[in-house]
Structure 1
Amino acid sequence: MINKVIDHMMIENRQHFMIPGDVVASVSEENSLRHAFLVLTKVRYAKIPVLDRDDRLKGLVSLPMITNTMLGLDDLNIAPLDQLCVRDVMETEVVTIRDPYDVENVLHLLVDNPFLPVVSDDGTFTGIVTRREVMKGINYIGHNLDKAYTVTPKVEVEQLK
């Protein structure tokens, strides 16, 4: 279980962890792979959310998922970029969280995921929580713990070295 003081400071900062969905690069499940390829290339993210027409999260798509469709045995074929849509290659087994989310759970999930999509109860995409933003929160705690709390070590600092 996470330390109560640290949990409290993380929860105080929780609203800063989520990047709102309207500023997160995403594609529609109906977009062509060419469109997704261009978006991913321009934003330079490893993966981006895939949404349906009602802004519900349907999956994630990455450059390797797209480029795998272009690779033949001896050549590179770009025709699949116009023949297939994002729905045909996207990852659908996606770990998501709901807002408000449990900070300790998010910390565990971010060990294996660079970001976590945040969805509402009906599956509407509302944003992402990134490892980067959570690390900023941990940095905040490291610099402000003693400003908000009296920290008394149980062991002398010299013994910790």
Structure 2
Amino acid sequence: MLIKPVEDLLLRNADHYLIPADIVANVQTDNNLYHAFLVLTKIKYSKIPVLDHAGHFEGLVSLPLITEKMLGFDQLNTEILMECRVSEVMETNIKTVQQVDDVEATLHLMIDNPFVPVVDADGIFKGIITRREFMKSFNFLTHEIGKQYDMIEKDFSNS
């Protein structure tokens, strides 16, 4: 559990954490790999969300997942890009959060992920919380916590 002063300061910027779904690059489960490859290459992100036609979050797709599908025994099979669907290569066991203000859960997920998908109770994709936005808040936190709360320094050198 986060201590209250830290949680309070991190929540001050919570309205800036969410990058809304309508501006997050994504692909759909039934798009071919060629389309996903182009999107990932153009936006220069490592992974992007995969949605169904109703806007439900289904998983993530990345260039390494697509490349792995293209690798043959002795050559790269680029024809597979037109033949295969995103649903055949995407990661599906992705942890998400439902609330932008679920700071502790988001922090845990950000240790290993550059972003965390936000979905509502029905699985509808609402957007992403990026590690970058959280780091901005940590920067704010480290500079402001001493100004806003009485902090007592402890000597840990003898511990």
TM-score by length of 2: 0.92
TM-score by length of 1: 0.91
Q: Distance in 2 between matches of 1:150 and 1:10?
A: 14
2:130 aligned with 1:114, yes or no?
no
2:109 aligned with 1:139, yes or no?
no
Q: Distance in 2 between matches of 1:63 and 1:117?
A: 18
Q: Map of 1:71-86 to 2, 5 A cutoff?
A: 71-86=71-86
User: C-alpha offsets along residues 34-57 of structure 1, whole Å, 9 cap, x if unaligned?
Assistant: 000000001111110000111110
Residues 136, 100 of structure 1: CA spacing in aligned structure 2 closer, same or farther, 3 A cutoff? closer
Residues 151, 74 of structure 1: CA spacing in aligned structure 2 closer, same or farther, 3 A cutoff? same
| Segment drifting more, 10-19 vs 50-59 | 10-19
Query: What secondary structure, in the 3-state scheme, does the structure 1 residue paired with 2:49 have?
Result: strand
Residues 99, 67 of structure 1: CA spacing in aligned structure 2 closer, same or farther, 3 A cutoff? same
Contact 2:100 2:129 survives alignment (8 Å): no
Query: What secondary structure, in the 3-state scheme, does the structure 2 residue paired with 1:126 have?
Result: strand
* 2:127 equivalent in structure 1: 127
Residues 121, 75 of structure 1: CA spacing in aligned structure 2 closer, same or farther, 3 A cutoff? same
Q: Distance in 2 between matches of 1:28 and 1:154?
A: 52
Q: CA deviation at 1:18?
A: 1.3
Q: Map of 1:7-86 to 2, 5 A cutoff?
A: 7-86=7-86
Q: Distance in 1 between matches of 2:15 and 2:43?
A: 24
One-letter amino acid matched to 2:133: E
Contact 2:29 2:87 survives alignment (8 Å): yes
* 1:153 equivalent in structure 2: 152
Q: Distance in 1 between matches of 2:151 and 2:60?
A: 45
Q: Structure 2: state its 5+ residue gaps.
A: none
Residues 100, 77 of structure 1: CA spacing in aligned structure 2 closer, same or farther, 3 A cutoff? closer
Q: CA deviation at 1:100?
A: 4.5
One-letter amino acid matched to 2:154: V
Q: CA deviation at 1:88?
A: 1.1
Q: Distance in 2 between matches of 1:155 and 1:99?
A: 35
